[in-house]
Amino acid sequence: MSDPTAPRPFDDIRALVTSRPAPDADAIAATRAREQDLTKPAGSLGRLEEIAAFVAGWQGKAPPEVSSPTVAVFAANHGVADQGVSAFPASVTKQMVENFRKGGAAINQICLTNDLALRVFELALERPTGDILLTDAFDSERECAATIAYGMEAIAGEVDLLCLGEMGIANTAIAAAVLHALYGGTADEWVGRGTGVSDEGLAHKADVVGRAVARLDGERDPLVVLQRVGGREIAAMVGAILAARQQRIPVVVDGFVTTAAAAVVHAIEPDAIAHCLFGHVSAEKAHRAALERLGADPLLDLGMRLGEGTGAALAAGLIRAAIQTHRGMSTFSDAGVAGPGGE
């Protein structure tokens, strides 16, 4: 028998979603008005113009400003790696974290290119979550909620644009399980090659994910799905997305695995990811289908499938350009340039 007086940590998370702030309509209107006066034909910067208004709305600031953009990478290990669902051994997660710290990974170079701060969060790598084929990932609601709360640290200090990424061998199987549990269909539809499994490996991965999700008996509560077939980096990214919303910080989501975190939040309340931009569509097979479920239109499509926040960090360069053009360009009258139909 469950104790009806026991604390329900997921209720606190649901309450946080309910109390979310809305974008600032005045800041959006002021940004759109200035955009019309800048020395270019109206609309000619395309999506960059929408991005400037989007950032202004969440920041409640016109003109919008991005001076402390940050990439947060959450690293975790997964018991399901024991089932042979990745092309790489689980030890690579920790080794890549060391590589991030020494500056030798792709994400370090993209952060240098786009002048982004990098924060790496290690989530108990020596203690993988439960193997979802056999048991729940998190032992309890409390442990899952604590990991969500830990992810809220991503925005501590000065952060005005948050790019989210992850590192975790076997986590494309975990992301596929979460999406399969939330959206139904078949496991085949949601699994892809991740780090590069063979045809045979792909069929085995689909079998493992299908059987893991079958354990749920149709359970679709997003936080329960996260607890039972999710993982620590996905839980932490859920927390980061929720905390950023409370602080009105726009978020840039990375690839397939990060999108699974956004999908959990969206399944609680679709509007709760309204402050998120989607950096790219990954080459992981089911990423496009997941983005469609979220109504997301990714900024880039470069055939990347790395994770680490690389797609989000590349897109942050575009977002920086959107803000810089909006802030720095002259108006027609200041520059002495004739406006449409003018002298």
Ligand X SMILES: Cc1cc2nc[nH]c2cc1C
DSSP string, 262-288: HHHHHHH-GGGGTTEEE-B--SSTTHH
Place of tokens 């979460």: 178
Which range, of 4-12, 46-54, 169-177, 321-329, touches ligand NCN by CB under 6 A? Answer: 169-177
Does residue 172 bind ligand NCN (CB under 6 A)? yes
229 binds, options ligand NCN, ligand X, none, Cβ within 5 to 8 A by partner type: none
When the beta carbons of 88 and 183 are compared against ligand X, the nearer one is 88
Count of residues in contact with ligand X, rule CB under 6 A? 8
**Which one of ligand X, ligand NCN, none is in contact with 144 (Cβ closer than 5 to 8 A by kind)?**
none
254 in helix, strand or coil?
Answer: coil
Cα 29 from Cα 11, distance rounded (Å): 36
Q: Does 284 bind ligand X (CB under 6 A)?
A: no
172 binds, among ligand X, ligand NCN, none (CB under 5 to 8 A by kind): ligand NCN
- In the shown chain, the binding pattern of residues 189 to 228 toward ligand X, with x for contact by CB under 6 A and - for none, equals ------x---------------------------------
Q: Does 92 bind ligand X (CB under 6 A)?
A: yes
All residues at 6 or more sequence positions from 26 whose CB lies less than 8 Å from its CB, including other chains? 62
- Among positions 145-184, residues that touch ligand X (CB under 6 A) are 167
Q: What sections of the chain are H helices per DSSP?
A: 9-18, 25-37, 47-59, 91-102, 106-114, 141-151, 171-183, 187-190, 199-214, 222-229, 232-246, 256-268, 287-294, 310-328, 332-335
- The item of ligand NCN, ligand X, none sharing an interface with residue 146, based on CB under 5 to 8 Å by kind, is none
Strand partners, 74: 121, 166
- Which has the closest alpha carbon to 151: 52, 44, 236? 236
Among the options 49, 141, 284, 308, which is catalytic? 308
Nearest to 100 by CA among 84, 121, 81, 86: 121
Residues 259-318 binding ligand NCN (CB under 6 A) are 282, 284, 287, 305, 307-308
Look up residue 205 and give its amino acid.
K
Determine if 96 is a binding residue for ligand X (CB under 6 A). Answer: yes
65 catalytic, yes or no? no
CA–CA dist 248, 275 (Å, integer): 8
Check binding of 168 to ligand NCN (CB under 6 A). yes
- What residue type is assigned to position 125 of the chain? L
Binding mask 117-156 vs ligand NCN (x if CB under 6 A, - otherwise)?
----------------------------------------
Binds ligand X by CB under 6 A, chosen from 238, 286, 306, 319 = 306
Q: Does residue number 256 form part of the binding site for ligand NCN (CB under 6 A)? A: yes
Residues classed as catalytic: 308
